Amino acid sequence: MPAKKTKTKPVRSQKKSPRRAAAAKAAASLPKATSMANLGPPSKLRGKNPERVRQILEKLDQAYPNVTCALEHRSPFELLIATILSAQCTDVRVNIVTKTLFEKYRSPSDFAHANPAELENEIRSTGFFRNKTKSIIGAAQKILKDFGGEVPRTMEELLTVPGAARKTANVVLGTAYKIASGVVVDTHVQRLSQRLDLTEHQDPKKIEQDLIKIIPQERWILFSHQLIWHGRRVCVARNPRCGECNLEKLCYSADKTVGWKLPARKAAAGR
């Protein structure tokens, strides 16, 4: 038997009202994905704006009111040695090494006359132990010969000591002598200064010059310690813990994991 033909009902064309058509056209022109990043920052303050800098310092004071250098030491000379050892090494590791090291070598004279091979083995776990051994023995000899066994108290003199570049000198002057000669720029300070848009530079010396122009001198020492602690605990290099950060509303780094942030392309263009 021939199959029965089924009648198909004609599909009615659904005409949109002018109002609905206009709404659809407007919706089509919007970005497909809308997130918090498109809604604008909680704070309109940007970059080195003095009020923004003031708020950043205030927030750091709230989170880290009494922090200081994490390197354990009993004298300016021990701090100098510990800071030399901290290059490309964590403070935790340095403190483990110096706990026994400073019991064996108790003075600049002890380090100046140390057996290089023995010292290399004792500081091996801090990395770059051969170069660090040369710097430590050289620093001890220089301090004995030119400074009467005392770590100098000026930037100019400290920079003549083997192993004491500007960062090391700032650590010693600021922590041991409470002399605000500059801002310590280590890997944490460098990263956070860039994320907070306080500098556009990569070079530590240029970053320091940017920071000393906007941070009051009486805050240089504490500010460095605060950024270092914040960099270790919250604003870590990978996957920063922005949900725990009290600076989150003042930050618009492309690295942020929550909240408003500057789109990566714009952040790159601004650098």
The answer to whether residues 129 and 116 touch, using CB atoms and an 8 Å cutoff, is: no
CA 198/CA 9 separation, integer angstroms:
68
Residue tagged active-site, from 91, 186, 197, 255: 186
The answer to whether residues 143 and 155 touch, using CB atoms and an 8 Å cutoff, is: no
Residue 186 a catalytic site member: yes
- Burial class of residue 267 in the structure, from the number of CB atoms within 10 Å of its CB (0-12 exposed, 13-18 middle, 19+ buried): middle
In this structure, the chain runs to a length of: 271
Which is nearest to 174 in space by CA: 166, 183, 186, 165?
183
The answer to whether residues 220 and 228 touch, using CB atoms and an 8 Å cutoff, is: no
Query: 30-69 burial, b if ≥16 CB within 10 A, otherwise e?
Result: eeeeeeebeeebeeebeeeeeebbebbbebbeebbeebeb
Residue tagged active-site, from 167, 255, 256, 261: 167
The answer to whether residues 98 and 78 touch, using CB atoms and an 8 Å cutoff, is: yes
Cβ count within 10 A of residue 200: 13
Active site residues: 167, 186
